[in-house]
Structure 1
Amino acid sequence: MKKLLLLLSICLTLSCNKDLDKKLSSKSWRVESVTVSPAMTSGNKTSTNYLELMGPQSCAATTTLTFSDKGIFTSGSNGALCDLFYDPNSSPVTWTREGEQITISSSPQSPFTLKGNKLTRTTSTTSAGGTIYTFEYVYKAQ
């Protein structure tokens, strides 16, 4: 009986993992919000809403992520001049998942977290003036 329960639990675990991979790779993920802390100033506007600061047609506001079932990750934007960030000679970026954590090969220090139909990611950058800004990105399945 113990062997049967062990086998059943292994099968359930493996099937759940495949379901999460399929959930991730069967959809596109569109940016829903980006919160910056501390508040940032752009022009004459100060806000923690980074998408508001950058504008609705900006690269940040039009970002879409895809995770292929073959393990390839892509990120694209259709804002003005967004193609300047694209390097056609770069190597493919891959993704791996462990539980709810999705790691991208190009930035393993900032993994995504998958919960329900949302992906979140936190990154930090230091400005020329020495201020450390923390960005929380939220993407929603489309």
Structure 2
Amino acid sequence: MNRILLILIICLSFSSKKDLDKKLSSKNWRIESITVTPAMTIGSKISTNYLDLSGPSSCEATTTLIFSADGIFTQSANGALCDLFQLPNSKPVTWTREGNQILISSAPQFPYTLSGNKLTQTKTSVASGGTVYTFEYVYSSK
């Protein structure tokens, strides 16, 4: 009886892992919000809503993440000049999942966290004046 229970638990844990991977790779993930703290000034606007500061046609506002089933990660955006930062001869960026953490090979220090139909990521940046900004990116599945 204990062996059957153990086998059932092992099978369910592998099934659950594959289900989460499929959930991640079967959809595109579109940016929903970017919150910056403290509030940032761009032009004459001061806000914690970085998408509002950047504008609706910006690279940030049109970002989509794709996690392929074969482990390839792609980030794309439709804003003007957005693909200038892509290196045409670079090797593919890959993704792996550890629990609810999604690690990207090119930036493992900034993992994504999967919760329901949302992916979140937190990054920090130091401005030239020394101000430390924290950006929280939220993506939803489409």
Using the size of structure 2 for normalisation, the TM-score is 0.99
Deviation string 1:109-134 (CA, Å, 9 cap, x unpaired) is 11000011110000001111111110
* Cross-structure match for 1:78: 78
| Structure 2 unmatched ranges of 5 or more | none
Q: Distance in 2 between matches of 1:116 and 1:109?
A: 22
Q: Deviations over 1:18-75 (max 9, x none)?
A: 0000000000000000000010000000000000000000000000000000000000
Name the counterpart of 1:64. 64
- CA RMSD in angstroms, aligned pairs only: 0.5
- Matches of 1:83 and 1:13 in 2, distance apart? 39
> 1:123: which partner in 2?
123
In the alignment, the residues of structure 1 paired with residue 49 and residue 87 of structure 2 have an alpha-carbon distance, to the nearest angstrom, of 28
> What does residue 100 of structure 1 align with?
100
Amino acid at match of 2:36: V
State percent identity of aligned pairs: 68
For residues 122 and 32 of structure 2, the distance between their equivalents in structure 1, rounded to whole angstroms, comes to 14
Gaps of 5+ in 1: none
Q: 1:1-142 maps to which residues of 2 (within 5 A)?
A: 1-142=1-142
Structure 1 stretches of at least 4 aligned residues deviating more than 6 Å after TM superposition: none
Shift of 1:85: 1.1
- What amino acid sits opposite 1:39 in the alignment? A
Distance 2:71 2:83 in 1: 23
Deviations 1:64-96 (A, max 9, x none): 000000000000000011121111111110000
